[in-house]
Amino acid sequence: MRLRGITAVVLAPLTVVACAAPPAPAGVAAEQDAVTTPPRPARERIVVHGTGDVSLDPVYIPAFREHGYEHAWSGLGGLFAADDLTIVNLECPVSTRGEPVEKAFTFRCDPAALPAARAAGVEVANFANNHIRDFGRDAMLDSIRHAHDAGIAPVGIGADLAAATAPAILERGGWRIAVLGFGGVVPDASWLATTRSPGLASGDDVDLMVEAVRAADAVADLVFVTIHWGMELDTEPRADDIGYAEAMIEAGADGIFGHHQHRLGPLGEHAGRPIAWGLGNFVWPRLSTESATTAVARFVVDPDGAVHGCLIPAVIARHGHPELAGPAPC
C-alpha cells in the first residue's frame, strides 16, 4: 500500500496468553525482530519501457515467415532485455481457433511468436484493444493461456470484469509494480467484460478505471497503465483522454502508455507523472513515413519515487522490424 512513496505496514493482531515470559532485553528483542522480519530491499532506480501497437500476425506481416519472429525485436540492440520492465500493446488475439468477425481488418497472432518476444525482454502485454476479439471469444481467452505459457503477463482482458481489471504484479528493484490494461474504441459494447461474461476492460469508463487504479495502488508501490484510446491519425490527445489520464494519475497511477492512433504523439505529464499520449505503430508493416515514425516510451523511477519520462526515437525500417533511431534522452 502506498502514499506516494510511503509503504504502509500492517501489524498482525496481538495474542494475549495467561503467563507471559519476562520481556527480553532490548538488544535481544531487536535481534529477534531482525531475524523474523527480513528488511525490505532498498529501492533502486528502475527503467520501464512501453510501446505502441505490436502485430505478430504472419499473414499481415509475411516477413516473419522468412526471417522468424526474432525479426520483430532484432533492431533494438537489446533495449528491452536490459531494462527492468517492458510493456507492449499486442494488437491481436494469440490463437489458432475461431473465425474472423465482420470487420475491415482482422488480425491473429501466432502463439509461436511469443517466446521470441519474451526472449527479447517483453514481460507484459495489453490485450484490451479493438482487435482482441477479431476471431471470437474463445480466441481472446486463448490469448491469456498462451501469454502465460510464454512467461508474459496478459492484462486488460479476462473471463469476467474482475479478471479483466486485475493488475499484473511484478517485483523489480525493491518496488512492487502493478500494471493495468484498458481499451476504448471497441467495435461494440459486447466486447466489454461484465460481471458474468468475458471481455476487455473498458478504456471509456472513467469510474471503472479510477476504481481499478485505486485497488492496484493499495497493493503496489507503483502503478502503470497501458491504454488503447483516441482516434486513428491523431497526433495530439483528445479532451476526453486528457480527463481520463488526469483522473487515473490522481487515483494513484505513476505513468500511462497510450496507443491506437497509428501516429506518434507527444509526451506529457500530470502531477509529476508522465503520459505517453500516443506511441503509434511499433512492430507493424512499414506503410508510410508518418506511420513508420515511432518511439519507445521510457519511464525512469528514482529511489525516492520521482518518475520522469522521455521518448526514444525509433523507425519501422522494414515490415515488422522497428529500429532505434537515436539515443535515449533520459
pLDDT given for residue 114 in this prediction: 98
Other beta carbons within 10 angstroms of residue 307's beta carbon come to 18
Radius of gyration of the chain (CA): 21
Domain-by-domain residue ranges, the chain?
46-324
Arithmetic mean of pLDDT, 24-50: 69
Of 35-49, 230-244, 247-261, 285-299, give the lowest mean pLDDT range. Answer: 35-49
Q: Average pLDDT in the 251-256 region?
A: 98
Nearest Cα residue to 265 out of 252, 278, 254, 256: 278
Listed residue (270, 317, 326) closest to 291, CA to CA: 317
pLDDT attached to residue 37? 57
Question: pLDDT at residue 19 above 90?
Answer: no
Binning pLDDT at 50, 70 and 90, where does residue 39 land?
Answer: confident
Name the helix (H) or strand (E) containing 207: helix 206-217
pLDDT 10s digits, 203-245: 999 999 999 999 999 999 999 999 999 999 999 999 999 999 9
DSSP state letter for 42: P
* Residue 35's pLDDT band (cuts 50, 70, 90): low
The pLDDT value recorded for residue 36 is: 63
pLDDT recorded at residue 216: 98
Q: Is pLDDT at 157 greater than 50 in this prediction?
A: yes
- pTM higher than the cut 0.95: no
Mean per-residue pLDDT, 34-42: 67
Residue range 46-324 forms a domain whose CATH class is alpha beta
What digits encode the pLDDT tens for the residues 68-114? 999 999 999 999 999 999 999 999 999 999 999 999 999 999 999 99
CB neighbour list of residue 125: distance below 8 Å, 6 or more residues apart: 54, 87, 88, 89, 90, 117, 147, 152, 153, 154, 155
| Alpha-carbon distances of 211 from 207, 214, 307, rounded to whole Å | 6, 5, 22
- The predicted pLDDT at position 287 comes to 96
